[in-house]
Structure 1
């Protein structure tokens, strides 16, 4: 029983080192380019080449609600009654702000996908722009997703510039012309697990292998066991799946709670 508890504790510790809280993978905003550039593992998601600098909107789309939506990354624009805004909703003859550039914030989903949330619109209106990484999309595409909650309007901006490291202030840097596009995780498994996690995992596997081999030799030679009885602590290994489950639950539950407490946009 004591051995089972020890193995459970070791498994919990292993998952704690091997996993990383999602906040470690956040795309951190460049303070000199608010709402425009964020840095992800030393690679930037850079939207500067997508927005207009003359006070007009770079994108417009007619939504399923028949309203027309205007958007400009990085710099504010003016469209009728929408003054110096990031997004504007034209509904009939009414023009309403749905977010301002000075109140923009980057958010990162669990799979590494980046979005920008804008607040400060008329009547509590706000907008979220999901940045969809597609390496072959040199011409950006702006699409309406919907009013995902009351007064919150969600859009997709599909572009090579949504891919980390593939754009600069002057446009695609060259890295966006090859490979297949994607909208989710762009980290390697090693990056998401982390070097300390890989070291701990490797040492754990080596220790388990050595334990099994030496244990089986001892059981066979010293105790003259055969068949399944040659496995040392056989009942413990049969209980291993439930121990792994307990270790994962005990580890990820507090980690996930801590990450969610840190804030950030998580649900559309």
Structure 2
């Protein structure tokens, strides 16, 4: 029974990944693209090659006198912000909040099922980071908003939110990810696992009924294990999330 518990616990951890098959698998941290188990996320169509897509936006969650600009994928120059992805603008000054070259995809801290892109830059001996939270919306329009500077973050962190079908695997661009043209790896794993569970239960019930004379719930193989299933699901989920969570103050992403 102990062995069965360990196996099922590990299976639950593995299939926790299925709920996160849209998470980035990049090793080279491309500014525009992210390879996932479900396909390619390509946000290149959301940026401007010769300008700024989202210019002088106001912070809506943590208001300030500053305005914020963001351009996905392509660098821009504006005041003191050079080769920038994100810029903070005041009446008399401006600050580079992250360069395109520093773009890094990772799991979002606030929601492990979402991807985040972080950008960093150093100006006046101060490191600043912009974190863009991506939300997949297959059928809706693209929206962008600025939360503002995350309270108490040191060094300063700035939170943006970008919702688009382009944040979905194969939603925009080439869509040439590993999941195109058929079932994703995660879907295949789920189907295979479901079939194995059905065969296991059916075969176990038949064996217990015909060979052991068991009936009712006693005919179910390892019935005690299945009664503990909800608790194991919870344990597996908590374990998986904590595995990727990292400490530290302020808003952070999980790599």
TM-score (norm 2): 0.70
How far apart in 1 are the matches of 2:224 and 2:38? 44
**RMSD between aligned residues:** 3.9
Q: What do the CA deviations read for 1:27-64 (whole angstroms, capped 9, x no partner)? A: 24495x9311222347332222322223x322120122
- Counterpart CA distance in 1 for 2:7 and 2:25 is 33
Give the corresponding residue for 1:142: 144
Q: 2:42 aligns with which of 40, 43, 46?
A: 46
Give 1:1-268 correspondences, 5 Å limit.
4-12=1-9, 14-15=11-12, 18-20=15-17, 26-29=23-26, 34-41=30-37, 43-54=39-50, 56-60=51-55, 61-63=57-59, 64-109=63-108, 112-122=113-123, 123-137=126-140, 140-149=142-151, 150=153, 151-168=156-173, 191=184, 193=186, 195-196=188-189, 198-220=191-213, 231-232=218-219, 237-238=223-224, 240-242=226-228, 245-246=231-232, 249=235, 255-256=240-241, 258-260=243-245, 265-266=253-254
Whole-Å Cα distance in 2 between the matches of residues 256 and 52 of structure 1? 35
Q: Is the 8 A contact 2:144 2:162 kept in 1?
A: yes
Distance, in Å, in 1 between the alignment partners of 2:190 and 2:140 is 35
Report if the CA contact (8 A) 2:205-2:220 is conserved. no
Deviation at residue 70 of structure 1 after TM alignment: 1.0
Question: Residue deviations 1:213-239, cap 9 Å, x none?
Answer: 33234454xxxx8x86x93599x6356
Q: Could you tell me whether the CA contact under 8 Å between 2:23 and 2:114 is conserved in 1?
A: no
Q: How many pairs does the alignment contain? A: 234
CA distance in 1, matches of 2:26, 2:166: 15
Q: Which runs of 5+ in 2 are unaligned?
A: 247-251
Separation (CA, whole Å) in 2 of partners of 1:5 and 1:260: 28
1:159 and 1:242 mapped to 2: Cα distance? 39
Give, in whole Å, the separation in 2 of the partners of 1:48 and 1:243. 43
Counterpart Cα distance in 2 of 1:132 and 1:75 = 20
| Of 116-125 and 21-30, the range deviating more from structure 2 | 21-30
CA contact (8 A) 2:147 2:161 kept: yes
Q: TM-score, normalised by structure 1?
A: 0.67
Larger Rg: 1
